[in-house]
Structure 1
Amino acid sequence: MRTTIALTTALTLLAPASPALASPALASPALASPALASPALALHRQAAPARAAVTAGSVFTSAAVTQGADGTYTISWQAPDAGNVTVTATTDASGGGTPRPVGSGGATGTLTASGLPSAARWYFRLVPANGVPLVVADRSLHLPHARNLRDVGGYRTADGHWVRMGVLYRSNKLSDLDQNDLTTLAADRIRLVVDLRNGQERRDAPDKLPAGASYQVADLIDLSKGLPTAPDLTLALLLALPRLLSSSEDAEQNLGYRLMVNAPSAQAAYHDLLTSLAAQPDPALFHCTAGKDRTGWGAAVLLTLLGVDRATVYSDYLASNTYYGADSVRANWLDAAFAEVDRSFGSFDDYVRKGLGLSDATIATLKSRLLTS
């Protein structure tokens, strides 16, 4: 009984959104910087999981889009071997459709796009004189009733590929969406929503789905899937104990993050999430209540699996401090999860294959679907 209570309590503590959290406008963008990760981050900058040898397809080493409050977009990039770069705007995530010219620049450039008509989302196609194009967008969808809803794409992998944008989204709960929000998500062709919340959360705040989307539950604390073995749970508690003396929140979160790695219910949930994403040909979204802990670890696992470097994984995780509220997440919480991966499985590859039970075919499909060629 004590084991059940400890597991349920620890994982449930990852669920609720605090009403005291600051709004995104008050959150400091500096909180999203990977530089704020604890010293343990340096220990986690190991190579990305092994993947088949490929030839890097992109000359872009960085690229980003930021939407201003006035409706303008700032597009910046670095591509040392690109030559001239031409930029167009489109509402098509693939970069097709009817492009609108924005401008051009050199291997390092910054442009501002203004006067674009209202659209669910604008994408920007960067076309280098040498190399293949890259499509990028502002990561946030700027939905007022789901402020932590953002694109998982737009990150460069260690071998020079990019995670596609407009394919996969992460979010906080969808129960507060209004019709405008739902129209935006429908326009982005989201066809699958995966809910990581527990039964009580789902009953208290049921999802509102965009038209045409199917719904799937991947409950991290479905105890019918089993409990961690006593040694795993005992060690997780002992590892969290020192922090309990100085910060109960740190202790709870460190325990919860470790259990997200070794609890059978959590392993089953992330297995279901990742296999569903691999099987879904259209854009998809996954979420929990705040979109920061259970969703944050899910995004960290996926990005690491795709070959994104650890510092960038931390940056995406810590961005909840900007989008959702100050001090929503802390780097040492993510440290705890990665440390548990190393302790329980020895490597990230073994965690993915043995802990989550992902097949080589599923991993290959995820990479094929989510990475640029």
Structure 2
Amino acid sequence: MANARNFRDAGGYRTADGHWVRMGLVYRSNNLHSLVQSDLDALAAVRLTRVVDLRNVMERTEDPDKVPAGATYQVADLLDVTKGLPSGGDLGLALLLALPSLLDSSKDAQQQLGYRLMVNAPSARAAYRDMLTGVAATLKQNGPASVFHCTAGKDRTGWGAAVLLTLLGVDRATVTADFLASNTYYGADSVRQNWLDAAFDEVNRKYGSFDAYVRTGLGLSDDTVATLKAGLLTD
């Protein structure tokens, strides 16, 4: 959409075992503050009934979302201090692992640190659990769609989409391509592959496997995982 240029379908991808991720059920986006009525009408037409906002309180206050009438607005703030912030060994190691990038680019160092913290920070893990649980709740309604977003729809949203697609069985190369598409939709050099790689590296370092991250790190229930797969995968 012209007023949310990184708004796109999270589906349409082939999984490693030959399924497809359904389209028209989950979208990813940048913020929805600039939408006009025609945009809201378009979202209502695709039965968008849940908006999950990954932004912090300042972002939400300065640029509040515009959502279709009747849609559920859900906050899943990655920086919600009440859910816990990174500390101790996780924070120290994330800082240490980011330091070599300072030699090449401060932007790389900052983003690689941020992506690692999106994996291990308690507030971030709670936010992604809430996001995925909310999407699953909407899928149980047999038809309505959800969207999750942050400000630019590329970092917090990018990792959220990577988690969802990987959980559904989409291969890493395809997940990376979806992540890097923000460079087309939002602007050149909006994201870099090594940032996403840093997040996956942190998953393996902290949890040993992606499945352990989903089950232990995010704390997703078997029912939520089953609902996401049943609702979003098709032959």
The separation in 2 between residues aligned to 1:159 and 1:333, in whole angstroms, is 27
1:214 aligns with 2:72: yes
Q: TM-score, normalised by structure 2?
A: 0.97
User: Percent of aligned positions with the same letter in both sequences?
Assistant: 73
What is the aligned partner in structure 2 of residue 235 from structure 1?
Answer: 93
Counterpart among 84, 87, 97 of residue 226 in structure 1: 84
Where in structure 2 are there 5+ consecutive unaligned residues? Answer: none
Say which of 174, 178, 185 aligns to 1:323.
185
For 2:175, the aligned partner's letter is V
Q: Letter of the aligned partner of 2:18 in structure 1? A: G
What is the CA distance between 1:226 and its match in structure 2? Answer: 1.1
Aligned partner of 2:135: which letter? L
- Give the superposition deviation at 1:201: 0.1
Q: How many angstroms apart in 2 are the aligned matches of 1:193 and 1:275? A: 13
1:47-76 residue CA offsets vs partner (Å, 9 max, x unmatched) = xxxxxxxxxxxxxxxxxxxxxxxxxxxxxx
Show CA shifts across 1:124-163 (max 9, x none): xxxxxxxxxxxxxxxxxxx100000000000011111100
Runs of at least 4 residues of structure 1 off by over 2 A?
Answer: none
Query: 1:210, CA displacement in angstroms?
Result: 1.3
Aligned match of 2:212 in 327, 350, 371? 350
Kept in 1: contact 2:180–2:193 (CA 8 A): yes
Indicate the residue corresponding to 1:177 in structure 2. Answer: 35
1:186–1:212: 8 Å Cα contact kept in structure 2? no
CA–CA separation in structure 2 for the residues paired with 1:169 and 1:227: 28
Identify which of 39, 46, 49 aligns with 1:188. Answer: 46
Given the alignment, which residue of 222, 229, 235 partners 1:367? Answer: 229
Matched residues in 1 for 2:152 and 2:65: separation? 13
Within 1, Cα distance between the matches of 2:36 and 2:134?
Answer: 26
User: Within the alignment, does 1:158 sit opposite 2:16 as a pair?
Assistant: yes
- Given the alignment, which residue of 139, 143, 161 partners 1:299? 161
| One-letter identity of the residue aligned with 1:179 | Q
Q: Please tell me whether the aligned partners of residues 79 and 85 of structure 2 are also in contact (alpha carbons under 8 angstroms).
A: no
Classify the secondary structure of the residue corresponding to 2:234: coil
Rounded to whole Å, the distance in 2 between the matches of 1:168 and 1:304 is 14
Unaligned segments of structure 1, at least 5 residues: 1-142
Matches within 5 A, 1:265-276: 265-276=123-134
The answer to whether 1:314 aligns with 2:176 is yes
* Structure-2 residue corresponding to 1:252: 110
Residue 9 of structure 2 is aligned to residue 147 of structure 1: no
C-alpha distance in 1, partners of 2:14/2:36?
33
Q: TM-score scaled by structure 1? A: 0.61
The alignment yields a C-alpha RMSD, in angstroms, of 0.7
What is the number of residues matched between the two proteins? 231
* Alignment partner, residue 11 of structure 1: none
Does structure 1 residue 277 correspond to structure 2 residue 135?
yes
Bigger proportion of residues as helix? 2
Choose between structure 1 and 2 for higher RCO, CA contacts under 8 A separated by at least 6 residues: 2
Letter in 2 for 1:186: A
Aligned position for 1:264: 122
8 A Cα contact 1:164 1:372, kept in partner:
yes
What SS does the corresponding residue of 1:203 show, helix, strand or coil?
Answer: helix
The structure with the larger Rg is 1
